Structure 1
Amino acid sequence: MPSKSDKTRQRIVDAANQLFCKKGYNRTSFSDVVGMADVPRGNIYYYFKTKDELLRAVIRHRLEITNTMLGEWNRTIAQPLDRLERFVQIMYDSTPALLQSGCPMGSLNMELGKERGELQNEARQLFDTFQRWIANQFTDLGYRDESRELSLQLLARGQGAILMAQVYQDPGFLERSTKEINRWLETLARYA
């Protein structure tokens, strides 16, 4: 059972995660995090000396959630095509949040890549985790030599669809795009 200290730390990480998604890393202050986490200001400095340390904790938290989710999919979804389609379903299921703030992974990587390359390299682990998992699904479908390229194409299609849906505030575009991505995946599975 987590201690009170662990729970406080997690509340800070959860608040920062939400704010980094909504406002961006650069526009989020410790004061914002303290307010959302509802903790005394001194508490944040006890756990995190800098905002960069807090970001690293958020990245680790996101990676834990992602790895748990992907592991669950591997255990409960028998076919690689079905697992890939479940990945694509995340976009559709997250439409309101994506239209408001964009993809949390994509937005963070774009923001950090402009001025904070060393932090962007750490944030890229989020994409790397999905990329490797997707590549494994394509390998299981029979695309051993092309699995990395296909995984990058799937990520790019998803990120592009999210970006354009957000730019034009068009949830229908995101829905149509996810259907198109699934048709592409089904075609690949059919000809593997």
Structure 2
Amino acid sequence: MKEVTTRDQIVAVADQMFYQQGYENTSFADIANAIGISRGNFYYHFKTKDDILEAVIDRRLQDRKDMVAQWDADEESPEIRICKFIDILIVNGEKIKKFGCPIGTLSSELAKLNHPNQDGANALFGLFQAWLRCQFVALGREDDADYLAAHLLARSQGVAMLANAFQDDEFIRREVEQMHGWVAAQAALPGRGATGNC
């Protein structure tokens, strides 16, 4: 097992703080104090907050890549794999109700700041959209796979935003059930077959 370094700790704590209180509202001191390290030790690993942000985005990208790779390995059915994506709303429901979607909130904040790392944050959406596209292609929906992937990604983001606003578990459960039904309906429609590359 890989040893957790001070740098790893900084990135993990920064990731949590950026999610819970926002990138702009999190200072070097906040992160250093949470870990219990000196400012000098902190600056040895990261010179600027933007450097930390880049590392946080890289961590989130790798975590999501690992997650979808695990879904691919665990499930033969693309329909079930897509439903695993939808179920994030249930699995992370309490966090989403409290803080929103970690990807959506970061992308939104960086867009408001016109931050140079906005494209990096948006790459997280790109990762899910490309993966979902592959799942719809595998369902035989190659002709409209791009549209279906974007639609499901947008709907899941909308549900996350409203879950944060409404604080309603029943709303989340109902929306997840409806999205599962929508995926089943897409799988039942005739398509050309999985002839494209992902």
Among 46, 50, 54, the residue aligned to 2:52:
54
Aligned-pair distance for 1:114?
Answer: 1.1
The answer for the alignment partner of 2:104 in structure 1 is 106
Bigger CA drift: 40-49 or 96-105? 40-49
Alignment of 1:124-139 (within 5 A): 124-139=122-137
Alpha-carbon RMSD: 1.2
The 4+ residue runs of structure 1 with deviation greater than 6 A are none
For the pair 1:162 / 2:160, whether they are aligned, the reply is: yes
What per-residue deviation string (whole Å, max 9, x for no partner) do you get for residues 73-112 of structure 1?
Answer: 1111001000000111111111110011000000000000
| Structure with greater proportional helix content | 1
Task: Tell me the amino acid that sits aligned with residue 123 of structure 1.
Answer: A
What is the TM-score normalised by the length of structure 2?
0.92
Alignment of 1:35-184 (within 5 A): 35-184=33-182
What is the distance in 2 between the residues matched to 1:101 and 1:163? 9
Runs of 5+ consecutive residues of structure 2 not aligned to the other structure: 191-198
What secondary structure, in the 3-state scheme, does the structure 2 residue paired with 1:116 have? coil
Task: Tell me the amino acid that sits aligned with residue 29 of structure 1.
Answer: S
What is the distance in 1 between the residues matched to 2:32 and 2:84? 35
What is the distance in 1 between the residues matched to 2:110 and 2:91? 26
Aligned-pair distance for 1:2?
Answer: 4.5
